Amino acid sequence: MRVQALLKESLVVILLAALTPPIVSHAEITPCAAPTIEVASESGGRLQFKIQSPCRKGELVIGRYGQFVIMERFDASGDLAFQLDCFLGDREVDLTFMNNWHATNQSCSAVESALTKVAIVWRDRVDLDLHALEYAASPGSDYDRSALNPGSYQTAQSNYFHSGRSHGFMSTVSDGQQLGHNVEVYTLLRHPAEPRGLIAMAVVLAAGDNAVGREPCHNGRRAQIRVDLDVYVLEPGTNLRSYERQFAAQPCDGTPTRFVTNLVPNIVVGSARAGGTANAP
């Protein structure tokens, strides 16, 4: 996993700073009780974590789900809540706290299995948007699912029942500013009997990205934005598939939306698995 390799050096620095307690005398050490961890399954193949630990106010928590790294911090009351999208399937979730206390008894086993998930994961502090264009939808239309128009599980479910076709939503989006990995996930509710169709996938630099010294397109005067990312496709009854890709900003040619369409496999519905006619090699 290319993104994981890029994270190792920065992760070590953060771990040393966040997980190494200050040097104090034995008289000053007050034992910190184990945190209270509540995990609930949410619709769309996600887990909601709620953690309470009053003696860990402001401290960092490192979560690992497969090779995906989550970094979250307790608030001033010692409370922490975050959502995990189970785009890697049924894998154990490891949580590490400042005193090297671990919690490893959580997994994605309880989430729905009859879903297709397509995810992009990256480390750079760049705001990328994953797009799912359902059934030849035009960019910016109602069925162009992205961070700008994420939809919801309830909306996808309603469309599923009324149209007799597969529909999805953005189950996770990111602004590219996470301490750990950034991830965006499109989750599809697949209909068991429907005509053959295509959901085209694309990646674009978000319109609001303001990375210092860089532009949202390549004009030849400044360094072109390039972002290493990993693509994951999870479907019922098949092994998880992953691809190493690199996003490159498109030329400044006046096009309002510069979609990159050769990074993420398209989803074929009706009689084939995702990527059956992949647009990514």
User: What pLDDT shows up at residue 208?
Assistant: 62
User: What pLDDT shows up at residue 2?
Assistant: 65
Average pLDDT estimate for 22-26: 43
- Stated as kind and residue range, the H or E segment containing 159 is helix 153-163
User: What pLDDT shows up at residue 228?
Assistant: 95
The predicted-structure confidence for 130-139, as pLDDT tens digits, reads as follows 999 999 899 9
Tokens matching residue 58: 């402001």
- Helix, coil or strand: residue 18: helix
- Interatomic CA distance for residues 210 and 123, integer angstroms: 16
User: Strand ranges (DSSP E) for 90-225?
Assistant: 92-96, 102-107, 115-122, 128-134, 144-145, 167-172, 182-189, 197-205
Higher pLDDT, 215 or 155: 155
Cα distance from N-terminal residue to C-terminal residue, the chain = 17
Domain ranges in the chain are 2-107, 115-269
Tokens matching residue 215: 């532009």
What mean pLDDT is reported for the chain? 84
Is residue 163 left, alpha or beta, with left meaning phi > 0 and alpha meaning psi from -120 to 50? alpha
| pLDDT for 29 beyond 90 | no
User: What pLDDT shows up at residue 28?
Assistant: 53
Sheet holding 60-65, edge to edge: 68-73, 60-65, 92-96, 102-107
The predicted-structure confidence for 210-255, as pLDDT tens digits, reads as follows 554 455 566 666 667 899 999 999 998 889 999 999 999 877 766 6
- When pLDDT is cut at 50, 70 and 90, the band that residue 24 belongs to is very low
Among 111, 155, 123, 152, smallest CA distance to 6 is for: 123
Higher pLDDT, 224 or 146: 146
| pLDDT for 167 beyond 90 | yes
CATH class of this structure's domain 2-107: mainly beta
User: What pLDDT shows up at residue 30?
Assistant: 72
- Interatomic CA distance for residues 158 and 224, integer angstroms: 42
Other C-beta atoms closer than 10 Å to the C-beta of 104 total: 11
Tokens matching residue 165: 């076709």
| pLDDT for 17 beyond 50 | no
User: Strand ranges (DSSP E) for 17-126?
Assistant: 36-42, 46-52, 60-65, 68-73, 79-85, 92-96, 102-107, 115-122
- Interatomic CA distance for residues 74 and 42, integer angstroms: 22
User: What pLDDT shows up at residue 23?
Assistant: 44
- When pLDDT is cut at 50, 70 and 90, the band that residue 12 belongs to is very low
- Interatomic CA distance for residues 34 and 54, integer angstroms: 10
User: What pLDDT shows up at residue 100?
Assistant: 81
Task: Collect all residues with Cβ–Cβ distance below 8 Å to 104 and sequence separation of at least 6.
Answer: 92, 93, 94, 95
